[in-house]
Structure 1
């Protein structure tokens, strides 16, 4: 009777995303018991029946970027009475790293240890990398000390992970201590180390007058780095994880992106251009362009994006647009990322000319059959919805483009758009407001939030 009540209760109430395992399993167990053929019903309702199948599910969830479901899959595995193997923990912790889910990463580590499984070198590197993505340098150092305590000897890759984890938080004291430790252990600095040092300079708080000068100096110093150190610091056998992803490089999401030409020999330049764009330092960006030219190298798509971003975020629409047009006229393959960079940058400050440029670029992009992904569309909608004056036409256009392809933006983007519409005192019976309100209501309900009144 208790099982039946819990199952009935679960079928009546909305289940917040993220903690659905128990009720899902209770439903599964209950219905399998009352079915005419229990074994057949259990097989039909279970999405995995053994460790191998669960590992496939974990891999699939990670590839879909639905990292918030990893704990649910693990809970279901436990309720099914299955013992996770080291390979399963590899997949789980790698997924938490990709999703920047620090709490889940430490949960899986603790579960491993409770089962008598000590994380190996690869898993410790994943954990340190996760700390870096979450800007938790102190936890990264704790992991580093723990692995030595358990007799797991760090390799060059571990040091680079740790260096970049500390650089993400702008902890120069820790970064330099790691560099000294690497040197003492005979580990040479490679391109990812120099990139980490550049990122550290950019992230230091407060930013000093010589920050940009040090970034330029590091680029110059890096020209002497030896590729011989790569074998020690980048044993790329990390289950399909790129070095850029493991070390939290700015180019991580572009390495294997189709349509993006990324020259991986320019890793240090990538970090430097990205840092200068974040700092909105036009002079430094132009200095880097001259250095790149003097080195006999050509800017790839990622560098062009950072140059555009620097100009646009500094308020120079003309140079940002010129950079975009020069690339498009160069005969190189166009990419949607360049369009999105121009649109996002044009909206900075919500100037009338910038918003017009953003909408014109959207129209041009659409006419060339480039379509916004759910992530890109949501990010642009969120940015466009911050416009407080004007006709709100850019936000409306982005919304219509996404809905025409049956794409629902993320909850933050929908919420911002909904509030932007409400701020314009649109009548309650307006079709657009009614449609947005309904989607906003459904998303809030799906994520466990209170239901939004639409009348």
Structure 2
């Protein structure tokens, strides 16, 4: 009943069911009471973990541990998802929970391995993810489609091309394979963005169709990139995907238009075509987001139309739209290259280190790098060093600060 209420997302019902067990369970003999409360507490730990209530999930985790026992593998898996959303070091937390479960003889499940391999993929720990995948199979646990998707994702994120292809093909041969769009998108994205190869990207698109999967909005964006960003460019085909999406019931969004704008404006240096796509987007009733604003500003700046970029930026703010660190970085870099340090400093100065409820834009690590580069381009080494000290004061990662220091 708790599992059912958890799937329905009804945490109030979960609480009522749990409360209803407290009095009758006390009538059980000692052994039955222990086993029953252990089962219910695991279910509650899962329920609160999946509802993203970390304090309550932690409370039931502690309760289980106080009974000199350990959560089951599924409870550990759900808890791992919740913990990693409340920590800055997902890899360390993932391995801590994995080691605790393994050390205490918790019987692993496919769900437990799926969660931890997925976390390792996100952290770009490909070797560790593949090691656990082998361990999983050695335990006699059969990987499912989610497992393979996580393993392929780990390989893709770490540029393990041979392994990505190997496990993708192994997935297709698996007797219990159920096609999922995400893993196909991962392979297409790998050959569009990391190792540009349009033919290989299209090969996985053909496999996607053969498996009777419907392309998503993300799939179409990758296809647009495949033709717009990989030589030999084919802008007619790239642009044609906007109409094809609509034909197949997939609504184009700002990211699709942004991809075309960036290709026309920054790769082809064709500002008029970039603006034509922007106007087409407005006509279609698709609102511009920060990505669109950023690629349009990049288009103007990279084509030496800085005053036009400044005018667009002011109109953007006047219309109630907010800026972003990456938009501000564009201007810092631009002004630095133009030897207009006062303007670069003004942009950097109006940004803040921490959100304070205002509309000020918070500096990203890339913002400090942009400002250091601007000072370096203008032989202002002392001021560049001051920016590094600001990074130290903000306690940014030591490796990042060291890399920026090396620039100076």
The corresponding residue for 1:329 is 283
Which of residues 405, 414, 419 in structure 1 aligns to 2:368? 414
Q: 1:422 to 1:180 in 2, by over 3 A?
A: closer
CA displacement 1:99-135 (0-9 Å, x = unmatched)? 7843443233223323443554333223322343344
Q: Which position in structure 2 is the counterpart of 1:212? A: 198
Which of the residues 93, 108, 111 maps onto 1:122?
111
Kindly indicate whether the alpha-carbon contact (under 8 Å) linking 1:133 and 1:165 is maintained by their aligned counterparts in 2. yes
- Superposed counterparts of 1:336-347, under 5 Å: 336-344=290-298, 346-347=300-301
Residue 412 of structure 1 and its aligned partner are, at CA, apart by: 4.4
Query: How many equivalent pairs are there?
Result: 331
Shifted more, 415-424 versus 358-367: the winner is 415-424
- What are structure 1's unaligned runs of at least 5 residues? 1-50, 63-72, 231-263, 451-455
User: Could you say which residue in structure 2 is the equivalent of 1:223?
Assistant: 209
- RMSD of aligned C-alpha atoms? 4.4
Contact 2:192–2:222 (CA under 8 A) maintained in structure 1: no
Deviations along 1:394-419, one digit per CA (max 9) or x if unpaired, are: 74564466457344413442353256
How many Å separate the matches in 2 of 1:166 and 1:332? 35
Higher relative contact order at CA 8 Å, sep ≥6: structure 1 or structure 2?
A: 1
Report matched runs for 1:125-274 at 5 Å. Answer: 125-186=114-175, 187-202=177-192, 211-227=197-213, 265-274=216-225
> For 2:135 and 2:107, how far apart are their aligned partners in 1?
11
- 1:253 aligned residue: none
The question of whether the paired residues in 2 share the 8 Å contact of 1:309 and 1:320 is answered with yes
1:155 CA drift (Å): 1.3
Residues 196/395 of structure 1: CA separation in 2 closer, same or farther (3 Å cut)? same
Counterpart in the other structure of 1:283:
233
2:392 aligned with 1:444: yes
Does the 8 Å CA contact 1:128/1:143 hold for their aligned counterparts? yes
| C-alpha separation in 2, matches of 1:276 and 1:165 | 26
Q: What is the CA-CA distance between 1:287 and the residue it aligns to? A: 1.7
TM-score of the aligned structures, taking structure 1 as reference length: 0.58
Aligned-partner SS, 1:386: helix
Q: 1:424–1:178: structure 2 CA closer, same or farther, 3 Å change rule? A: closer
Q: TM-score, normalized by length of structure 2?
A: 0.64
Secondary structure in 2 aligned to 1:352?
coil
Name the structure where helix makes up a greater proportion of residues: 2
